[in-house]
Chains A and B, each alone.
Chain A
Amino acid sequence: MTQPQRVLSYLEALNEALAQEMAADPSVVVFGEDNIGGTGCDGTLGHAWGPTRGLHNQFPDKVFDAPITEAAFVGAAVGAAATGLRPVADLLFVDFAGVCFDQILNQAAKLRYMVGGKAKVPMVLRAMWGTGMRRGAQHSQALYSMFTHIPGLKVVAPSNPVDAKGLMASAIQDDDPVIFFEHKLLYFGSRGVVPEERYTIPLGEAKVVREGGDVTIVAIGRMVNEALAAAEQLAADGVEAEVIDPRTLSPFDFDAVYTSVEKTSRLVVVDESNPRCSIATDIAGNVAENRFSALSSAVRTVTSPHAPVPFSPALEDAFPPNAGKIVDAVRSTLAASLSKAS
């Protein structure tokens, strides 16, 4: 008899990855603000609301609440990683990287290189990102492009529970600092059948989530679902889109994108971050530089505008890419195609 398949949310999948990695490796420690929740209070413990919830029950000596001291505890993660632990530190919102950027930019990213390879920094910095929760300009950014820009950091942005679990396991086992982007709308909004056993998904391996021959759509994080919805709409009109989820932004699986573009000759990149100096322009630039002759049409990017994230629901809903904008971009790239592709 087959077991009923187990469905987990993205948040639960991350929680399971943390628990399994902690159980497997005693050097894994987890900390951040309210990662236990309730420390120093008269009530009960266990009021973390994110993926660390409940971990302290199983690992009371390995999970810590931190005061609001990101510069200190992210820096401490770097120092601890260089001396025998595998810390998983929690930034809550990625926007708070602002108050501890030196620890990420100048310490975590550079330590190994500066000391001539004499140290490694096996840490994970978890960070919530993205629009959609009416959190306004300081709690909604998509800053992965900034971190991807920095040599020495690895950057992961899963789009679904299965990838979230396997990529978190890889990130923890990886010997380099990994910034792990968790989209806040996916925590509860993305659910899927997740294997119970411990497994990893390699960093730097993209996934073709839908096959098609007419256009390649590369989409990141929550945008993967929007791209799939766009692909369904396009299919109704006889346009078959291939949708690629890079899953990790640094390292980046350019070969997967090149292979697809060689087949489709058209590329649309969907990225929730701001348009300038972004992962979208990076992907577009690399394809233009390395597969120019495969293209039959100019690369299109679908991004948020060059503006902070607005609070007003009406404005916020108009801010990020969505299926409709993706369909429009695909149609425009099809319309502009040179004859050689047809």
Chain B
Amino acid sequence: MATESAGSLGREELIEAYRVMRTIRAFEERVHTEFASGELPGAVHLYAGQEAVAAGVCGALVEGDYIASTHRGHGHAIAKGCDIGAMMRELYGKAGGSCNGKGGSMHIADFERGMLGANGVAAGGAPLACGSALSAKVLGKSHVSVAFVGDGAANQGSFSESLNLATVWQLPVVFVVEDNFYAQATGTRYHLRGLDVARRAEAFGMPAVTVDGTDYFAVRDAAATAVERARSGGGPSLVECKAGRFFGHMEGFDQQGYRGAGEVDRLRAEQDCLVKFVTAAGLSTSETADVDVTVDAAVEVAVAEAKAAPSPELTELLTDVYVSY
């Protein structure tokens, strides 16, 4: 696959990309064990395996750009620069969480970072990204909006309607479809008839490409092209990224018997985006080790602080329902 950006990215950018992906991986692996120990509440959907998509896409964005995420949103949030301490507190439902504990994993948001929110409703973010793109267009700003959507969520009417609206209004939006081959326990071979979602974009007259979602550089190049098109007034695009998830659909819920024997082991052994990246980027062992140590320590601190943090005050039940009432 094209590695245009492998050549054009400087050492610091490569290390930063590694740091982002490695942070997502460490965060998710840790959340997995925390959940298994019974300490962590809620519906938690892990992103491990798909890191190159969030990192590659957000790597092509600049400050002020927006993303609308999904129920599997930790990776998007981290790649967009959200604080993992606040995220971890949010996962534990604690005061000082990204949403002061009111949202949880499925609703992490940080508007200052352009992270418009994870979403509990399949494809719920696609129309929202059209909206933030409309804001930029009407307000004369150069901001681009990205909607992340799963393969399963791509079957929602709101997703098709968003593709249509974005082309008709020529919105500066990029739809990033993350095909991880499953919607819960239903395979894409069935629910998409094995066809690429990119073909649907073409039906709306929208440029679309399909890339290997475990290849950071492939994702980043495709995203950069789509983002540049949007920023320069060329309208919406779709980037479809294929990358399997390392964990079940949702923590504590999924025995994964629907997956083929050895599938996850093979994914981890052969399709690990981090391993591929280190090789392709030519990062040295000392370069990665420096990042690893810092990242692991930061995740450790995030968990310890989240556990120690107080719960929100009960008066919070009735705040934020309205601005004024």
A residues engaging B (CB < 8 A)?
33-34, 37-49, 65, 67-69, 71-72, 95-96, 98-99, 133-139, 305-308, 310-315, 318-319
Are the C-beta atoms of A38 and B257 separated by less than 8 Å? Answer: yes
Are the CB atoms of A41 and B101 closer together than 8 Å?
A: no
- B104 close to A315 (CB less than 8 A): no
Contact A138 B318 (CB under 8 A): no
Among all A-B residue pairs, the 4 with the closest Cβ atoms: A40-B190, A40-B187, A42-B260, A311-B104
If the complex has contacts A312-B311, A315-B101, are A41 and B260 also in contact, measured as CB distance less than 8 A?
yes
Residues of B contacting A43 in the complex (Cβ-Cβ under 8 angstroms): 256-261, 263
Report yes or no: A137 in contact with B318, Cβ–Cβ below 8 A: no
| Chain B residues in the interface with A (C-beta under 8 A) | 41-43, 93-94, 97, 99, 101-104, 106-107, 119-124, 152-153, 155-158, 182-192, 253, 255-261, 263, 311-312, 314, 316-318, 321
Known: A99-B121, A136-B107. 5 other contacts (CB 8 A): A42-B260, A43-B256, A43-B258, A311-B99, A312-B101
In whole angstroms, what is the CA distance A88 to B208 when docked?
A: 38
Report chain B residues within 8 Å CB of A319. Answer: 317
Could you pull out 12 A-B pairs where Cβ atoms are within 8 angstroms?
A: A34-B184, A40-B189, A41-B182, A44-B257, A68-B155, A72-B157, A305-B317, A311-B42, A311-B102, A312-B93, A312-B94, A315-B101
Contact: B103 with A136, CB < 8 Å?
yes
A71 to B158, CA, bound (A): 10
B185, A37: Cβ atoms under 8 Å? yes
Shortest beta-carbon distance, A27 to chain B, in Å? 25
CB of A98 within 8 A of CB of B314, answer no
Instruction: Tell me the complex Cα distance, A46–B94, Å.
Output: 37
B197 CB to nearest chain A CB (Å): 12
* Residues in B whose Cβ lies below 8 Å from that of A306: 318, 321
Given contacts A99-B157, A315-B312, contact A137 B259 (CB under 8 A): no
Q: Are A69 and B257 touching (Cβ within 8 A)?
A: no
Nearest-neighbour CB distance to chain B for A130, whole angstroms, equals: 14
State whether A96 touches B121 (Cβ < 8 A).
yes
A68-B183 contact given A44-B257, A98-B121, A136-B103, CB 8 Å threshold:
yes
Q: Which of B101, B122, B318 contacts A305 (CB 8 A)?
A: B318
